[in-house]
Amino acid sequence: MNTILLLRHAKSAWNTSGLSDHERPLNRRGERAAKAVADHLAQRGPRPDLILCSTATRARQTLAPLIKRLGTPAPPLSLEDDLYLASEGSLLARLQALADDVATVLLVGHNDGIWQLAEALAGRGPPALLAALQEKYPTGTLTVLDFPTGPWRDLAAGSGELLAFVRPRDLTRR
């Protein structure tokens, strides 16, 4: 199986005068959410073979606790300018360009592209998870999708099975 982990950056600060949108950091709530999602993913997996992350500060800060929790050696990490506010189509094209030896990829990015990509790829899965995915994609949310093994270039809309839809609030209720 090929697996895609889609992670929307956690809640960012808006009261950062003088900073561009690209430079906005996480706020305290976002930092807590990033740690909770990192703990969840490190404990329950799957472990990514490759991490693709937007160069935006808030995306990199969302990823930082997970990198620490994964230990050494950390999976290869590619910080990519093109992932900043990327559209669904751009994100899909990036995934289709993955090397075939990558079985599990984590993509850290932004809405609306992340949400639209998750909705497009999730062709099946538990009805409650599919409904939650269609309703809203909050900051810090992680989606896990499985696909039949095959070349990434064949990745297509509706071809994935939604295995998990994890919102930060789901993790703090436990």
Q: pLDDT tens-digit profile of 60-76?
A: 999 999 999 998 898 99
Query: Model-level pTM?
Result: 0.96
Arithmetic mean of pLDDT, 142-159? 95
- Residue 50 amino acid letter: L
- Residue ranges covered by each domain of the chain: 2-172
For residue 89, what pLDDT band results from cuts at 50, 70 and 90?
very high
Mean pLDDT for the chain overall:
94
CA distance 3 to 49: 10
For residue 152, what pLDDT band results from cuts at 50, 70 and 90?
very high
**Sequence-separated (6 or more) residues with CB below 8 Å from residue 114:** 6, 7, 8, 91, 107, 137
**Residues 47/105, Cβ–Cβ less than 8 Å:** no
H-assigned helices in 45-126? 57-70, 88-96, 113-121
pLDDT at 43 over 70: yes
Q: Looking at domain 2-172, does it have CATH number 3.40.50.1240? A: yes
Query: What's the pLDDT at 173?
Result: 58
> Which residue reads 């290869």 in tokens?
76
Arithmetic mean of pLDDT, 11-17? 83
CA distance 58 to 23: 7
Tell me the CA end-to-end span of the chain in Å, nearest whole number: 30
